């Protein structure tokens, strides 16, 4: 990376609806108009994909500076170039702004074009909005209202096309609703690198299809549903589940890997219906892997842990925490270890580090690393969302997970007698039998039952990632924010509150009442966060520039 | 899958013609496969994709786009009957039925089976499940093939076969038959000899000036290189190689030659766009995808004088610095492709092509690339996409101007067959001398292709502007049929705006009638139409203009590539409206809607197909509005059956598609729409 400041992009003057504005060279005209608050409707144009210019919805009236005999622009009374308007409407999606260019985004000619295109798009459309999943977020509906006709002139039979086609395991096609914008085809080819979709047939009968020997089974297939401007491609999982306008949308981040893709969680009445990517060009662009977005069913698992338990008996939180503290105090530090989790927020990991400090755990604390093959698109090798945070707060070994074998050994040998588990310990080098045989006292904070929680002396039900607030640091040291989309079930609590109360019970002195004050406490100790607050992080996160260099991590990529 | 070694050898040979991208070999491989196995099976799609290192969908996209590819076997004798305007005016609908009868195919029954109703109208079908069987997949992208029970014969209605002057025309396998009489229908089934290469002698009309067509239908003329050399062939190539490329470009600029493909763009100016010495190679493509209904000039050059074209091409390659050129010939000219292949081999063996041509140090290679029945490939960027092995979707301009970002994103010149032939003559005469032929800004000769209701339809090469429309029709073409009067003329291929007899056209200095219009680019444009590709379709007072427009609409609805919205949806909509008018279901608002639909297409599309499909509608309505009003008298439209029956909706999880059902013709429409 060069430290020299980037060369400034030259600016060009563009007249939009009579107003001269400046845009950096290379800006697409359609985007320039959008920046000037003159939104241009579009179906096929997507800033992340190639530009076929096929939907013709973004037609505008365009002009270029009138050139004099000296090949210089003729200037008007205002000193600005006079405009020679092109008689034919031009698409604004395939054109970069240029010096002296002028557009009219709402002239009678443009209105006529949009009206015409809207009508063409609708004549063979089934108009089945009442049962269409896209209804409420459909560009056909939106632009119909703004630019369409109030009645139909089409007296003919509509073209019949395939309906309810399972293009792949997760995507269903209704070809009659398709406007043939080719966004899905281009996405699969250009972004997902799996040229699986194409057009078959011709003219008005053209249809999106897969070759019969292939299916749309890429791990990015559901992105085609996101970018489909109409109800042609729908998510088989979400299909017919919920009207989108009832969904409460919460901006948060994905926790399935170290990238921390920005997402929107759609919920209604404390239930998740879908997760969609949220555009963040510094993180995930517009995309999200299917595996990640569909990994939310566990939140609504009926087996969720909802009550604190001691030796299998439900107890109240106060008792559970005081029993935990007593247990911990009853053993010397050397007999205690903690398996923290890189799925936890910075705030939670910070509290873990404070607990570790209080209990003088030394090197008897680590996280469970999760790694896999990077997919070359979005998914990195590190499948934990906050390895960076865990390492920053030193609740992970410099090589995360490196201390787990020794912790496991000491559990087996009986030298560790209390294990604080924020992960399933039986995935950290101990078999359930070994853990059971060790007679180790397990204090587990978790959301779903597993081999460790079943052996836990104290079981403290925590919250899922969509049920909590907090921050995480992705692999690129970007500080991002989780927001609460749901409330945790039953008596389950936010993990930071559990850890705070445990710390207090262990003799801690700080008692942050809110996550904001916890963040301030954290920031006061860790200068990386100084000047930040949860609200300052913003929806798109912010890079932590003062991050101290952490030792190289093999899991990072 | 057992692939015979001869076929494999041909396949590898075909791939070698595309050193830049083997994807370009998709169409050639599909042709080779279909020629050998009779159809393109699913296996073929997978095999070809694998061979070319593509995804199977890449090939499936092509098979379903190009109508010549069949996914099910046709009959051992496959008969293509031209459905388009000039042929239908000459009775091709009846001819199709007669041939079917002779072949033992019950067309009505077949339509009933195919479309699930006896009206042959897929879109009114109540039984989509019937369409999932054998017949549908047979349909390719939508031109259904009727096969006789014994598998001996099959019939397909196809769009323009580019021989409108000898309508109606039929292709029996690869053999071509012109001027078919209804009575000859049965004899067609055993047709062995093709009319395309049949020696004919036709003396030029005194008003003609033969330049490009000097050797066409000439006594004693053959299409081999000996004959061509005896007549002084390839002398201009020798001359050209002694010149500087810029000098040739300048000669062509001086000549004032305008492209003969339809748009009339100055050829020299087009060549001037090529920047020499850039990092990318330059390509030249000969557009021999002659397919504008009413136009049939290139076929004669290709069949009878291929070396003239090759010489023009090699000179042009030298002028623009292209070392590799493709000759994109429409799929329906299989004999033409063979003739050109042979001519190329001859030229290569004589050193006119290949490495170090005639010792000049200039290397040039030309390959023939066959299309497969898609009109849109005549659009230059669509042609380039097709040549790259893709669906022929025209590209947006900007940024994809062929001279900058053409074939394989390299500078590319695309010229029409006639234009490239003219280059040879410009070199022979010199640009200034050539410019003396014709009129200022309308130089040279033009091959006018006359079809429809005249006594002597056919091609006539004339000096541009030397004839008026009236002289062309009444003098050169022998006038109208006895007792008939002139009603209308489409002057430049079916997309040109129609001109009405009796109309007055205001020019700058005078007012003229249809008969007075000189046949040049500028005057025809001033009269609100265009010289286009030179296809003049004459209609006398026996013609129903709604029917005529419907025929044209069907052509464009069938040929719309479907890429951009207005043309994709509008072309079929216009056809459906005229269908309904003809069937007696026209409502009073129809002419207005029809015109507005056309207005909403023209000027809003990626390529000029938008204009091509809307200009007929706009002009027919403007000029013959009364005929359309007379067909649009109903207050309410005829009732239509529901799109899906309630039983279908209740009983099925899945409603199968109808792959591109195509109404086989308006003759099957009437009953359905008026019941």
Residues of B in contact with A179 (CB under 8 A): 565
- Residue B673: what pLDDT? 31
Q: How much is the mean pLDDT over chain B?
A: 89
- Residue B277: what pLDDT? 82
Q: Is the pLDDT of residue B327 over 90?
A: yes
The answer to whether B211 touches B461, Cβ cutoff 8 Å, is yes
Q: Is the pLDDT of residue B137 over 80?
A: no
Lowest mean pLDDT of B81-90, B133-142, B573-582, name the range: B133-142
Pairing outcome for strands B282-288 and B175-177: unpaired
Lowest mean pLDDT of A319-323, B114-118, B157-161, name the range: B114-118
For residue A291, CA distances in Å to A296, A371, A467, B60 come to: 10, 15, 20, 29
With cut-offs at 50, 70 and 90, classify the pLDDT of residue B668: very low
- Residue B660: what pLDDT? 35
- Residue B263: what pLDDT? 84
- Residue A548: what pLDDT? 65
Residue B199 CB neighbour total at 10 angstroms: 11
Q: Is the pLDDT of residue B669 over 50?
A: no
Residue B256 CB neighbour total at 10 angstroms: 24
Of all residues in chain A, the percent with pLDDT exceeding 70 is: 97
DSSP symbol at A191: I
- Residue A5: what pLDDT? 66
Q: Is the pLDDT of residue B383 over 90?
A: yes
Spatial CA neighbour of A309 closest among A321, A327, A291: A321
B-chain residue closest to A117, CA distance: B566
Mean local confidence (pLDDT), B387-393: 97
Q: Is the pLDDT of residue A71 over 70?
A: yes
For residue A516, CA distances in Å to A171, A347, A523, A525, B660 come to: 40, 10, 10, 15, 61
Q: Strands (DSSP E) along B335-480, which ranges?
A: 365-370, 412-416, 438-439, 442-443, 445-452, 458-463
For residue A347, CA distances in Å to A137, A337, A537 come to: 36, 20, 14
Answer whether B132 touches A (CB < 8 Å): no
Do the chains contact at B606 and A54, CB–CB below 8 Å? Answer: yes
Q: Is the pLDDT of residue B115 over 90?
A: no
Do the chains contact at A156 and B577, CB–CB below 8 Å? Answer: yes
d(CA B499, CA B520): 15
Q: What confidence tens digit (pLDDT) does each residue in A387-405 have? A: 999 999 999 999 999 999 9
Q: What confidence tens digit (pLDDT) does each residue in B202-255 have? A: 999 999 999 999 999 999 999 999 999 999 999 999 999 999 999 999 999 999
- Residue B262: what pLDDT? 82
Do the chains contact at B659 and A212, CB–CB below 8 Å? Answer: no
Biggest alpha carbon–alpha carbon distance for chain A: 95
Q: What confidence tens digit (pLDDT) does each residue in B8-43 have? A: 999 999 999 999 999 999 999 999 999 999 999 999
Q: What confidence tens digit (pLDDT) does each residue in A501-550 have? A: 999 999 999 999 999 999 999 999 999 999 999 999 999 999 987 666 67
Mean local confidence (pLDDT), B395-404: 94
Q: What confidence tens digit (pLDDT) does each residue in A234-279 have? A: 999 999 999 999 999 999 999 999 999 999 999 999 999 999 999 9
- The predicted model scores a pTM of 0.93
Spatial CA neighbour of B617 closest among B551, B538, B524, B532: B551
B641-648 long-range contacts, Cβ below 8 Å, gap at least 24?
B641/B124, B641/B126, B643/A126, B643/A157, B643/A158, B643/A160, B644/B128, B645/B126, B648/B128
Mutate to test the interface with B, among A45, A59, A120 (most CBs of B within 10 A): A120
Do the chains contact at B396 and A201, CB–CB below 8 Å? Answer: no
Q: Is the pLDDT of residue B121 over 70?
A: no
C-alpha of A216 from chain center: 22
Q: From the list B124, B580, B657, which residue is nearest A207 (CB)? A: B657
Q: Which two tokens stand for residue B260?
A: 């003969």
Pairing outcome for strands B322-329 and B365-370: parallel
For residue B451, CA distances in Å to B207, B295, B302 come to: 18, 9, 20
Do the chains contact at B55 and A117, CB–CB below 8 Å? Answer: no
Residue B608 CB neighbour total at 10 angstroms: 18
Q: Which two tokens stand for residue B583?
A: 């069937």
Spatial CA neighbour of A40 closest among A21, A24, A53: A53
Pairing outcome for strands B535-540 and B445-452: parallel
With cut-offs at 50, 70 and 90, classify the pLDDT of residue B87: very high
- Residue B199: what pLDDT? 81
Residue A410 CB neighbour total at 10 angstroms: 19
The answer to whether A542 touches A533, Cβ cutoff 8 Å, is no
Q: From the list A162, A209, A210, which residue is nearest B656 (CB)? A: A162
Mean local confidence (pLDDT), A79-88: 94
Model ipTM value: 0.92
Residue A30 CB neighbour total at 10 angstroms: 25
Let me know the angle formed at the C-alpha of A112 by A108 and A114, rounded to the nearest 5 degrees. Answer: 120
Q: From the list A123, A162, A207, which residue is nearest B573 (CB)? A: A123
Mean local confidence (pLDDT), B346-363: 96
Spatial CA neighbour of B458 closest among B202, B282, B271: B202
Answer whether B563 touches A (CB < 8 Å): yes
Q: What confidence tens digit (pLDDT) does each residue in A215-238 have? A: 999 999 999 999 999 999 999 999
End-to-end, the C-alpha distance of chain A in Å comes to: 17
Pairing outcome for strands A458-461 and A309-310: antiparallel
Segment (H or E) for B536 = strand B535-540
With cut-offs at 50, 70 and 90, classify the pLDDT of residue B107: confident
Q: Is the pLDDT of residue A194 over 60?
A: yes
d(CA A336, CA A321): 16
- Residue B666: what pLDDT? 37
B-chain residue closest to A164, CA distance: B654
With cut-offs at 50, 70 and 90, classify the pLDDT of residue B342: very high
Mean local confidence (pLDDT), B377-405: 96
Q: What confidence tens digit (pLDDT) does each residue in A455-474 have? A: 999 999 999 999 999 999 99
Spatial CA neighbour of B573 closest among A125, A230, A91, A140: A125
Q: What confidence tens digit (pLDDT) does each residue in B463-476 have? A: 999 999 999 999 99
Q: Is the pLDDT of residue B665 over 70?
A: no
The answer to whether B332 touches B290, Cβ cutoff 8 Å, is no
d(CA B408, CA B385): 9
């Amino acid at each position: 990376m060069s430290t020299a400041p980037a060369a400034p992009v030259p600016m060009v003057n563009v007249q939009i609806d009579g107003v001269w504005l400046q845009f950096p060279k290379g800006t697409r005209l359609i985007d320039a108009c959008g920046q000037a608050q003159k939104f241009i409707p579009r179906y096929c144009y997507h800033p992340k994909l190639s530009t076929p210019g096929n939907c013709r919805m973004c037609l505008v009236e365009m002009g270029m500076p009138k050139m004099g005999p000296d090949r210089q622009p003729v200037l008007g009374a205002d000193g600005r170039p006079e405009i020679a308007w092109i008689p034919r409407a031009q698409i604004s999606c395939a054109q970069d702004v240029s010096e002296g260019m002028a557009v009219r985004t709402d002239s009678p000619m443009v209105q006529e074009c949009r009206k015409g295109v809207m009508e063409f798009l609708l004549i063979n459309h089934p108009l089945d909005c009442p049962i269409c999943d896209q209804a409420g977020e459909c560009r056909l509906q939106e632009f119909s209202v703004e630019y369409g006709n109030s009645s139909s002139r089409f007296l003919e039979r509509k073209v019949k096309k395939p309906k309810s086609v399972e293009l792949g395991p997760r995507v269903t096609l209704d070809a009659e609703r398709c406007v043939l914008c080719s966004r899905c085809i281009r996405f699969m080819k250009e972004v997902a690198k799996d040229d699986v979709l194409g057009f078959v047939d011709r003219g008005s009968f053209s249809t999106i299809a897969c070759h019969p020997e292939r299916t749309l089974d890429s791990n990015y297939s559901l992105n085609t549903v996101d970018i489909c401007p109409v109800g042609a491609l729908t998510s088989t999982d979400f299909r017919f589940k919920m009207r989108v306008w009832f969904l409460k949308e919460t901006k948060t981040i994905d926790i399935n890997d170290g990238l921390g893709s920005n997402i929107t969680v759609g919920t209604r009445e404390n239930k998740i219906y879908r997760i969609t990517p949220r555009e963040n060009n510094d993180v995930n662009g517009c995309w999200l892997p299917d595996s990640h977005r569909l990994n939310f069913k566990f939140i609504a698992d009926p087996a969720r842990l909802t009550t604190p338990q001691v030796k299998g008996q439900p107890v109240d939180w106060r008792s559970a925490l005081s029993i935990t503290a007593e247990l911990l105090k009853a053993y010397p530090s050397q007999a205690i270890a903690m398996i923290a989790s890189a799925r936890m927020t910075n705030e939670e990991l910070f509290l873990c580090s404070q607990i570790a400090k209080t209990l003088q755990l030394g090197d008897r604390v680590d996280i469970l690393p999760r790694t896999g093959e990077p997919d070359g698109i979005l998914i990195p090798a590190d499948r934990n969302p906050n390895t960076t945070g865990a390492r920053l707060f030193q609740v992970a070994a410099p090589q995360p997970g490196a201390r787990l074998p020794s912790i496991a050994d000491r559990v087996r040998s009986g030298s560790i007698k209390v294990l604080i588990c924020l992960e399933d310990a039986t995935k950290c080098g101990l078999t359930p039998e070994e853990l059971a045989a060790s007679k180790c006292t397990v204090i587990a904070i978790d959301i779903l039952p597993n081999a460790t929680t079943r052996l836990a002396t104290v079981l403290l039900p925590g919250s899922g990632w969509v049920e909590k607030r907090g921050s995480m640091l992705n692999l690129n040291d970007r500080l991002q924010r989780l927001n609460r989309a749901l409330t945790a079930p039953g008596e389950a609590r936010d993990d930071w509150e559990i850890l705070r109360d445990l710390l207090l019970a262990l003799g801690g002195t700080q008692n942050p009442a809110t996550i904001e004050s916890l963040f301030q406490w954290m920031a006061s100790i860790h200068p990386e966060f100084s000047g930040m607050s949860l609200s300052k992080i913003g929806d798109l996160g912010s890079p932590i520039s003062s991050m101290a260099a952490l030792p190289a991590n093999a899991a990072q990529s | 899958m057992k692939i015979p070694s001869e076929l494999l050898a041909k396949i590898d040979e075909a791939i070698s013609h595309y050193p830049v991208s083997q994807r370009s070999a998709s169409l050639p491989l599909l042709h080779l496969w279909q020629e050998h196995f009779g159809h393109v099976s699913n296996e073929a799609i997978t095999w070809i994709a694998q061979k070319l290192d593509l995804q199977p969908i890449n090939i499936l996209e092509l098979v379903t786009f190009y109508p010549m590819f069949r996914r099910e076997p046709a009959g051992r004798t496959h008969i293509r009957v031209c459905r388009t305007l000039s042929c239908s005016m000459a009775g091709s609908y009846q001819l199709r039925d007669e041939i079917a009868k002779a072949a033992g195919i019950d067309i009505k029954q077949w339509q009933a089976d195919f479309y699930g109703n006896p009206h042959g109208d897929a879109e009114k079908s109540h039984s989509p499940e019937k369409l999932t069987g054998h017949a549908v997949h047979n349909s390719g992208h939508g031109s259904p093939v009727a096969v006789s029970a014994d598998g001996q014969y099959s019939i397909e209605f196809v769009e323009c076969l580019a021989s409108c002057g000898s309508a109606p025309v039929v292709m029996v396998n690869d053999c071509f038959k012109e001027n078919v009489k209804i009575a000859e229908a049965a004899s067609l089934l055993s047709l062995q000899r093709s009319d395309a290469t049949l020696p004919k002698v036709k003396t030029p009309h005194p008003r003609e000036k033969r330049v490009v067509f000097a050797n066409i239908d000439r006594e004693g003329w053959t299409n081999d290189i000996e004959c061509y050399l005896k007549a002084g062939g390839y002398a201009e190539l020798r001359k050209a190689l002694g010149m500087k490329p810029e000098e040739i470009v300048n000669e062509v600029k001086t000549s004032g030659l305008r492209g003969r493909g339809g748009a009339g763009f100055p050829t020299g100016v087009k060549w001037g766009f090529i920047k020499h010495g850039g990092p990318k190679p330059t390509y030249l493509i000969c557009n021999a995808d002659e397919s504008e209904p009413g136009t049939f000039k290139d076929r004669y050059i290709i069949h009878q004088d291929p070396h003239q074209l090759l010489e023009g091409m090699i000179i042009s390659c030298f002028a623009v610095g292209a070392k590799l050129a493709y000759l994109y010939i429409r799929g329906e000219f299989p004999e033409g492709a063979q003739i050109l292949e042979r001519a190329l081999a001859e030229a290569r063996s004589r050193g006119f092509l290949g490495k170090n041509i005639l010792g000049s140090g200039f290397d040039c290679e030309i390959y023939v690339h066959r299309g497969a029945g898609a009109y849109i490939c005549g659009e230059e960027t669509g042609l380039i996409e097709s040549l790259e092995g893709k669906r022929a979707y025209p590209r947006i301009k900007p940024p994809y101007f062929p001279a900058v970002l053409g074939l394989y994103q390299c500078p590319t010149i695309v010229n029409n067959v006639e234009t490239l032939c003219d280059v040879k003559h410009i070199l022979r005469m010199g640009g200034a001398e050539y410019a003396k032929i014709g009129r200022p800004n309308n130089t040279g000769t033009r091959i006018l292709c006359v079809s429809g209701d005249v006594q002597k339809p056919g091609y006539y090469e004339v000096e541009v502007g030397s004839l008026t429309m009236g002289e062309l029709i009444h003098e050169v073409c022998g006038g109208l049929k006895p007792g008939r009067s002139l009603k209308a003329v489409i002057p430049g291929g079916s997309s040109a705006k129609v001109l009405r007899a009796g109309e007055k056209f205001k020019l700058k200095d005078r007012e003229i009638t249809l008969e007075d219009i000189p046949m040049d680019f500028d005057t025809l444009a001033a009269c609100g139409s265009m010289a286009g590709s030179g296809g003049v379709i004459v209609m006398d007072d026996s013609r129903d203009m709604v029917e005529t427009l419907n025929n044209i609409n069907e052509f464009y609805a069938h040929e719309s590539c479907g890429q951009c919205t207005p043309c994709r949806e509008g072309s079929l909509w216009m056809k459906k409206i005229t269908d309904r008018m003809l069937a007696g279901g026209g409502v009073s608002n129809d002419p207005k809607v029809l015109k507005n639909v056309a207005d909403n297409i023209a000027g809003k599309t990626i390529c000029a197909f938008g204009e091509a499909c809307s200009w007929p509608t706009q002009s027919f309505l403007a000029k013959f509005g009364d005929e359309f009003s007379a067909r649009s008298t109903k207050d309410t439209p005829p009732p239509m059956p529901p799109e899906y029956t309630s039983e279908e909706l209740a009983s099925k999880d899945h409603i199968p598609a109808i792959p591109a059902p195509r109404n086989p013709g308006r003759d099957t429409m009437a009953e359905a729409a008026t019941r």
